[in-house]
Amino acid sequence: MKIPLNKKTLYVFLRFAIVGVINTALDLMVLNLLVYFFAVTNALIFSICKGVSFAFALVNSYFMNKYFTFAKKETTAKNFYIFVLLSLIGLFVNMFVSSVTFYLLSQYSFNISVNLIATISGIVGAMFSMVINYISYSLFVFK
């Protein structure tokens, strides 16, 4: 299976990026609320909060990608399960990269707020998982 590189693919990727920005904003809003609510100061608790915030964005992502990005009105339960499975791979990439970034920034930052560190970490993780998610969704879910 191959993703064609043409004008249509570019527009689909741009819609995917728009959905990604919306999902990232949702993810970061939930993440920052959790970080604030639980007064997070270590990477393990941050990872748990990141997983919860990602789950909120995952549900939103499925419906926005289904209807807006890939314009698939009809999908099967199997498509949803594959979407979730592939998203879990994206989640682990996102959590790993976010957590490493959070750890490094919290160790070597100069009086930067924990919320700013969480936001930066979340964005870095999202960028890595975006590429993996687009390719896998295009090839296996919304083909």
Which contacts qualify for 3-7: CB closer than 8 Å, 24 or more apart? 3/135, 3/138, 3/139
Structural tokens at position 118:
């969480």
Residues 6+ apart with CB under 8 A from 54: 27, 91, 94, 95
Domain boundaries, the chain: 7-141
Global confidence as pTM: 0.68
Query: In this predicted model, what pLDDT tens digit does every residue of 76-99 receive, in sequence order?
Result: 888 889 999 999 898 889 889 999
Over range 46-70, report the average pLDDT: 90
Structural element, H or E, at residue 93:
helix 77-108
Cα–Cα distances in angstroms (integers) from residue 77 to residues 69, 81, 83, 90, in the given order: 19, 6, 10, 20
Evaluate if residue 4 carries a pLDDT over 70: no
Q: What is the pLDDT of residues 93-141, one digit of tens each?
A: 988 999 999 999 988 877 888 889 988 998 899 888 888 888 899 889 9
- Phi and psi angles of residue 70, each rounded to the nearest 5 degrees, phi first: -100, -5
Give the chain's mean pLDDT.
88
pLDDT class of 24 with cuts at 50, 70, 90? confident
